[in-house]
Amino acid sequence: MSGTVDPSKTNCQRIPFWLDSESTPVYCCLHVSSEQRHNQIGVVICSPLGFEYTHSHRTLRHLADRLASAGIPTIRFDYHGSGDSDADLRAIGRVEKIQQNIGSTINQLKQATGVTQVCLIGVRLGATLAALYTEQSPIDKLILWSPCVKGRAYVREMMALEKLAAHSEGTDQDFIDSGGFILSNETAESLGQINLLKMEYSNINNVLLIERSDLKTDQKLLRAISNKETRTSCEHYLMEGYADMMAEPQETKIPFDTIEKVVNWIKPQNTAHSDFEIQTKDFKQVAFHPSANSYERICYPIGSNLIGILTTPKATQDKPIPLVVLANSGSVHRVGPNRLYVELARELGKAGIASFRFDLRNLGESVMGLPVDENHPYPHDSTADIEDIINHLQSHFEYDKFVLAGLCSGAHNVFHAAIELEHDKRINEVIMINPLAFYRRPHNFQDNSKEQEMAKDSEQYRKSLLDPSKWKQLFSKRGNLGYIFKFVIRLLWKKLASLFFSVARIFGIAQQTQLSKDLNQYRNSDTHISFFIASKDPGKKILMDNAKSTVNSMIKAEQLFLYDIENADHTFSNFQCRSRFIQKFVKHILNKYLK
């Protein structure tokens, strides 16, 4: 077990740790030069909030690696109530708590590396919060990267996102539910009072303002920062590729030119590097999380680049329960979409169930350097990674029974792991959450994108036909009736083909589908499989269209369990839906393994 990982092809190392900020564990990762030689200036990165936190994670990790390689020690961290850090997004005084987090992280950076100067880098709302911090505490340098100039405007954006969602379940809630992330009314009110145009900037020597080249720029913020009375120097930079940087996690592109601009702007000119031994004695690898009544440990399987967090409950069940392993969903790092995996792990912890959420080697913080397969959600070596995790958890923590679980591509990867490790009796069960594809690897690739579209449209039309108010929307689909006619013809053809092949298989004329064969392998190996599928997702229809008889027979034999999550979408982006899913998941584990 080691507290450091050496990224290949980069001259830096990462040291993740828990920072006890105001008695609340905050997840941090220190990036330093592998040679432990650096300048006298360090960096603290203030990430965005909400879905932008998830979308920017890859770029900010690359930025921190590059800064460290240039001799600039850098800490990334998750605010109170976000990412891997503790507490509830609806907690009171969250803006003040985040300000405390920034200050604690700066102090930790100085103590650990000996730097005497600090640069704060904030992206979007993170830039707004970083600027707010400088109102009370001096900072040597500040980078505002596409900042939210007015907190009130940001809150309006989040409210608009909530209204766009088609799954709102009430108006009496005390929070804004925007894209799966909670913003309490109290936090929204505090943010609404922030206005970068009215700040003084007297505690900062130098500011770099990075704005998007594809949007019209407003000179008001630049003028406010460069006010003659403050004597603050402000440089303005227009970046290319902002939209790509903030795209869906599996589609993000790294703005390397902007990263180089940041590095060169921060790095002191003609300043020699100094030697310094990194002081990590205060770095905690284990922290108690009061909100989950559980301990969380940062783990690395020896000999691999994988990183994960083991959640172990303070109060365990009397009867041993298999440990739940959560594999990446898509290209989102281990916190999961909408922070789903963190919330799930901590609810499991409250129920006395241990879990391990981790990043596959080409995703999240397990990525080292610039591998050609970085950010690919269906890696060919995911089974080897999962086996390494199982071996590590058994050898170091004596767990010998496991439930493999994952959403979307994570479902695909754990599905194949159990098939390829069919003789590994340590795997009790596989839980597939909203699977969209069962075969995406190069050697068994099946393009089912049209099948996904048909399944999704079929469900939409079925519901529309039962609701007269939806007829107008139904017939405006794709702008004309031609699409609906073609859809009905394709659907009827598919139904007839499915019926023909079902009858042919009964008489031994046609072979089983690959999915039926694989499910039967589960049956024969006595590894159970369960499905949690959102009602708005096509996963159930895809499953039943390809292996209906096998699924039904396995359900009857209690070798397969199938759960519907009412009114939910693919990533459970609605708070109530996410809560229902987590409750059903925990209840399933308790019922199945405490009988």
Q: Is residue 167 part of a domain?
A: no
Query: 113 with 240, same domain?
Result: yes
Alpha-carbon distance 199 to 472, whole Å?
50
CA pair distance 406, 415, nearest whole angstrom: 9
Domain ranges, residue 208: 12-150+199-268
Residues 253, 395, single domain; the answer is no
| 461 half-sphere exposure, CB direction, 13 A CA radius | 16
**CB of 46 within 8 A of CB of 113?**
no
The DSSP result for 12-74, as a single string, is EEEEEEEEEETTEEEEEEEEEETT-EE-SEEEEEE---THHHHHHHHHHHHHHHHHHHTT--E
Q: Residue 497 falls within a domain, yes or no?
A: no
Tokens of 361: 């080697």
Map residue 433 onto helix, strand or coil.
strand
Q: Which of 50, 70, 28, 208 is nearest to 126 (CA)?
A: 50
Beta-bridge partner residues of 528: 429
Q: Examine the domain organization and report whether 310 and 406 are in the same domain.
A: yes
Residues 336 and 264 in one domain: no
Regarding whether 444 and 537 lie in a shared domain, the answer is yes
Instruction: Name the DSSP letter for residue 316.
Output: -
Q: Is residue 158 in a domain?
A: no
Residue matched to tokens 């020597």: 205
Domain count of the fold of the chain:
2
Q: How far is CA 161 from CA 9, 125, 177, 274, 385, in A?
A: 40, 16, 8, 48, 37
Same domain (yes/no): 35, 144: yes
Contact 262, 319 (CB under 8 A): no
Residues 260 and 214 placed together within one structural domain of the fold: yes
Domain boundary among 236, 268, 300: 268
Same domain for 411 and 353, yes or no, is yes
User: What length is written for the chain?
Assistant: 595
Q: Is residue 493 part of a domain?
A: no
CATH number at residue 583: 3.40.50.1820
Token pair belonging to 326: 């959560």
Tokens of 348: 């499991």
Closest Cα to residue 409, out of 298, 307, 327? 327
Residue 500 lies in a domain: no
Enclosing H/E stretch for 308: strand 307-313
Q: How far is CA 273 from CA 63, 72, 73, 115, 301, in A?
A: 20, 10, 12, 11, 33
Same domain for 351 and 225:
no
- Check whether residue 29 and residue 79 sit in a common domain: yes
| Within-domain flag for 551 | yes
393 and 356 in contact (C-beta within 8 Å)?
yes
Residues 233 and 370 in one domain: no
Answer yes or no: is 180 within a domain: no
**Is 258 in the same domain as 388?**
no
Query: Could you read off the pLDDT tens digit of each residue along the chain, which spans 595 residues?
Result: 345 554 445 688 999 999 987 678 999 999 999 876 778 999 999 999 999 999 999 999 999 999 999 999 999 999 998 999 987 777 789 999 999 999 999 999 999 999 999 999 999 999 999 999 999 999 999 999 999 999 999 999 999 988 877 555 555 788 999 888 989 999 999 999 999 999 999 899 899 999 999 998 888 999 999 876 767 789 999 999 999 999 999 999 999 999 999 999 999 876 666 777 888 888 999 999 988 899 999 998 877 789 999 999 998 888 899 999 999 999 999 999 999 999 999 999 999 999 999 999 999 999 988 888 999 999 889 999 999 999 999 999 999 999 999 999 999 999 999 999 999 999 999 999 999 999 987 667 676 666 655 455 555 545 554 555 555 555 555 545 565 566 556 656 555 655 555 555 555 555 789 999 999 999 999 999 999 999 999 999 999 999 999 999 999 999 999 999 999 999 999 999 999 999 999 999 999 999 7
Beta bridge partners of 154: none
Last residue of a domain, one of 239, 268, 297: 268
Instruction: Evaluate whether residue 65 is within a structural domain.
Output: yes
Q: CA-CA distance, 237 to 146, in Å (whole number)?
A: 10
